[in-house]
Amino acid sequence: MGSKTPPNQSGTPVDGQPSSTGGVRSPRVRKPVGTRKAKPERKPGGASAKSLIETPGPDPDASVEGIRLTIGVIGGTHGVQGELKLKLLTDHPEHLSTIRKVYLGESDASTNLTSVRFQGDQALIRLEGVSTPEEGKLLGGLKVRIAGSDALPLEEGEYFLFQLVGLAAITTDGTAIGTVTDILETGAHDVLTIRPETGPDILVPNHPRYVLDIAPQRNQIVIDLPVYTS
């Protein structure tokens, strides 16, 4: 991850499938998420887009070992024994089964995670000290975070979303575009918000066609800007 790699030569596309360019693969990013706070924006075509996380996340230059990564949000209770519904915000939900301690909201104090099971696209979890629906309801809406040291190790050419925030976006010829300020969730692909020195924000799909190289070690991300037609 620390070595310089040429554009479009490392990792895999965001959809996890080989690209159509002779088997060449592009950098990918992984949730858990942790982007900076940003107001909801509009994606090309006028459809609404929302920030992946609407609260501040880790500093982009923080080490993975020393941070907390959001893996879900408590959505409510399930049953009568304090089980909680967890809206998952991670690419690897099955890894949650290996986690023993989590952090709720912005608390620095850990809470024991006593059980995890999966139901559809959500998880049902049990936390130590929560044994009734009434106790569970008090936790509704809280983020559930894990220690960075407990996260599934990144593969080469793979990055967490928060590591993209603050990178200098450039074209293939080195021309400055702006700075990545947020990642938006719009459906098929996440969208990078790039803020130029002047003018409106630029929205770029996080897709190998447009994101050619991600290099936090150089504080750069190489972009082939999309051309939108009215």
- Chain position carrying tokens 């501040």: 56
Q: What is the pLDDT of residues 177-197, one digit of tens each?
A: 999 998 887 766 788 999 999
Q: What is the pLDDT of residues 123-182, one digit of tens each?
A: 999 999 999 999 999 999 999 999 988 988 877 777 887 788 889 999 999 999 999 998
Two tokens, residue 203:
């929205």
Concatenate the DSSP letters of all residues of 36-78 into one string: PP---EE-TTS-EEEES-SS----TTS-GGGSEEEEEEEEEEE
pLDDT of residue 199: 93
> Rounded mean pLDDT of the chain?
76
**What proportions of the chain, in percent to the nearest 5, are helix, strand and coil?**
10, 40, 50
**Is the torsion defined by CA of 140, 122, 145, 129 positive or negative?**
positive
How far, in Å, CA of 230 to CA of 161, rounded?
Answer: 30
DSSP 8-state symbol, 27: -
pLDDT of residue 206: 87
Q: Is the pLDDT of residue 204 over 70?
A: yes
Q: The domain 68-147 is classified under which CATH number: 3.40.50.300, 2.40.30.60, 3.90.470.10, 3.30.310.50?
A: 2.40.30.60
Decide whether 28-33+45-62+159-222 matches 68-147 in CATH topology: no
pLDDT of residue 187: 65
Nearest to 209 by CA among 194, 224, 220, 221: 224
Task: Give the residues across from 215 on adjacent strands.
Answer: 220
Q: Give the model's confidence band at 111: pLDDT under 50 very low, under 70 low, under 90 confident, else very high.
A: very high
Q: Where are the domains of the chain?
A: 28-33+45-62+159-222, 68-147
Question: What pTM did the predictor assign?
Answer: 0.61
- Distances in Å between the Cα of 115 and the Cα atoms of 80, 122, 131, 199 are 15, 14, 12, 49
Phi, psi for residue 225 in degrees, rounded to 5? -60, 130
Q: Are strands 211-215 and 101-104 parallel, antiparallel or unpaired?
A: unpaired
By CB neighbour count within 10 A (0-12 exposed, 13-18 middle, 19+ buried), where does 159 fall? buried
Q: Which CATH architecture has domain 28-33+45-62+159-222?
A: Roll (2.30)
Chain centroid, CA 124 distance in Å: 21
Which of the pair, 51 or 180, is modelled with greater confidence? 180
